[in-house]
Amino acid sequence: MNVLIYGSGQLARMMYLAGCPLGIYINAVDVVKEQVVDPVTKEPRSMTLEQAIEDADAITVEFEHIPEHLLEKAAQTGKLRPGIDAILAGADRVREKRLLDKLGVPNCPHLIIDDVQQLPNAVTQLGDKIILKASRDGYDGYGQWRIQSASDLQKVTEELAQLDLKSVPLIAEKMMQFQRELSLVGTRSENGNFEFYPLVENRHHQGQLHLTIAPAQNITDSLTEQARDAFCKIANKLGYIGVLAVEFFQVDGQLLVNEIAPRVHNSGHWSMQGADTCQFENHLRAVCNLPIGDVSTHAYSAMVNIIGAGSFSRDMLAIPGCHLHWYGKEARAKRKLGHFNLNAPSYQVLGQRLESLSRHLPEEAFPLLKPAIKELSI
C-alpha cells in the first residue's frame, strides 16, 4: 500500500519507520515547496505532487497547519484521512472552540476577539487573568499573550493593535487553576471502532511539552470516562479515521478540553516502546483500513523531549529500558531534536531510571526531570 503524508518532519519519519514492517510505502510532502520527498533523508523524489496523490492509496498529515489548497486537492480524491474538517478544526482555534461548544464538550470559558477594543470586555467577563491565543499557527507557546494586571492589558493591547485580528482572530480564555495536564491518544477505524491508550500526564516548560508519564498516576474511572466521552463525541462528529489526541486540563475532578490534535502526537511517543502497538503503526493501520492493533501497555513509561540540546554523550543507553529516538536535525533553541523513552516495572523504578538519565544530561535543558524524579520515587 502507498501512503502520502503532508508534512516532512519527525512525525512523518516515525510513521515511515512504523510502516516499513507492514509493507506500507510512504512518501512525504514538503508543504512549503510542494515537493515530494523521502521521509527520512528529505531528498526530493522523482515524481510530482500530482503523481504522488494519484499513486497513493491513502493521504494523511503529520501536522494540522497545511495550506488549505493542498488539503482541498487531497480531499477531492476521497483519500484524505482524517478528513478535511478534522484537520481544519485542529488548525484553527475558532473552529475548534465552536466544535466543542456545539458538542457540549467542556472546555475553558472563552471569547473570540477580532478587535483590540474587545479586550477590556473580555477581562470583565472572564476575570482579570486571561490567556490570549492566536487562532491559527500558534504552537509550542508561540502566538500567546497573558494578561494578569492592568499594565499587562495596556501592553498587550498596544502589541495586538499591530496585528490583523479580522484575518486571524484571537481566543481569549479564562486562565484556569488546573492541577495538571492530561491527554488521551486513541484511534478510530473506518467502521467506527475505537482503541484508547491510557490517559497520560504531560508537563510543559515555556509552552513546550518536556515530559510525559504513561499511564498518568491517580486516574479515576470518572476521569477516564470523561476523557473517552469527549474523544468519542469529537471523533464521531468528524467521521474521524486515524489517531487523534485530545489534551485536557484537570480542574479538581473535571476535565476541560484544552485542544485537539488531528494526528499522531508528541504525548503518544511513549507508545513506541510502552505499548503493544505504537500510535504511528495504529494511525497507518487505520488510514489503510487495516485492523487496529492492541494498545495494551507493557510497563510504566516516560517520554523525555530533547529540546535545543544537541551535545551530550550516549552513555545513558546503558540504562535498562532506555531508548533514544534522534530526529537528525540541526540543534537550535526550542527545537525538538529527539526524545527518550524509558520503561520500568513500577513508578518508583521509573523515577530511579529518570534519575540515572538525568546524570547524563545538562540540567538547564531538562528542567522538569528533578521534580518528576522526586514524585515518582516516593
Pick from 147, 174, 201: which residue ends a domain?
174
CATH code of the domain covering residue 148:
3.30.1490.20
**Parallel, antiparallel or unpaired: strands 336-344 and 300-307:** antiparallel
- Residue 341 identity (one-letter amino acid): N
* Whether residues 215 and 358 fall in one domain: yes
* Whether residues 218 and 262 fall in one domain: yes
CATH code of the domain covering residue 265:
3.30.470.20
* Whether residues 187 and 239 fall in one domain: yes
* Whether residues 205 and 163 fall in one domain: no
Pick from 174, 194, 228: which residue ends a domain?
174
How far apart are the C-alpha atoms of 79 and 141, rounded to whole Å? 32
Q: Which residues contact 242 (CB under 8 A, 6 or more apart)?
A: 60, 81, 82, 187, 188, 262, 263, 283, 286, 287
Query: Range of 264's domain?
Result: 180-376
Supply the pLDDT for residue 143. Answer: 83
Specify the 3-state DSSP secondary structure of 124.
helix
Q: Is residue 85 assigned to a domain?
A: no
pLDDT digits (tens, 9 = 90+) for 225-255: 999 999 999 999 999 999 999 999 999 999 9
Supply the pLDDT for residue 138. Answer: 64
* Whether residues 148 and 212 fall in one domain: no
* Whether residues 57 and 159 fall in one domain: no
pTM: 0.95
Query: CA 10, 303, 137, 162 torsion: positive or negative?
Result: negative
Q: Is residue 114 assigned to a domain?
A: yes
* Whether residues 153 and 234 fall in one domain: no
* Whether residues 184 and 169 fall in one domain: no
Q: Answer yes or no: are the C-beta atoms of 276 and 7 closer than 8 Å.
A: no
How far apart are the C-alpha atoms of 28 and 21, rounded to whole Å? 18
* Whether residues 185 and 159 fall in one domain: no
* Whether residues 158 and 240 fall in one domain: no
* Whether residues 285 and 353 fall in one domain: yes
* Whether residues 320 and 203 fall in one domain: yes
How far apart are the C-alpha atoms of 48 and 26, rounded to whole Å? 15
Determine the straight-line distance between the first and last CA of the chain, rounded to whole angstroms: 48
Q: Answer yes or no: are the C-beta atoms of 47 and 36 closer than 8 Å.
A: yes
**84-91 vs 221-238: helix axis angle to the nearest 10?**
120
Supply the pLDDT for residue 150. Answer: 75
Measure CA 104 to chain center: 22
Supply the pLDDT for residue 208. Answer: 94
Q: Is residue 293 assigned to a domain?
A: yes
Q: List the chain pLDDT tens, one digit each, 378 residues.
A: 999 999 999 999 999 999 999 999 999 999 999 999 999 999 999 999 999 999 999 999 999 999 999 999 999 999 999 999 999 999 999 999 999 999 999 999 999 999 999 999 999 999 989 999 999 876 655 788 999 987 889 889 988 988 889 999 999 999 999 999 999 999 999 999 999 999 999 999 988 999 999 999 999 999 999 999 999 999 999 999 999 999 999 999 999 999 999 999 999 999 999 999 999 999 999 999 999 999 999 899 999 999 998 888 899 999 999 999 999 999 999 999 999 999 999 999 999 999 999 999 999 999 999 999 999 987
CATH code of the domain covering residue 70:
3.40.50.20
Overall number of domains in the chain: 3
Q: Is residue 242 assigned to a domain?
A: yes
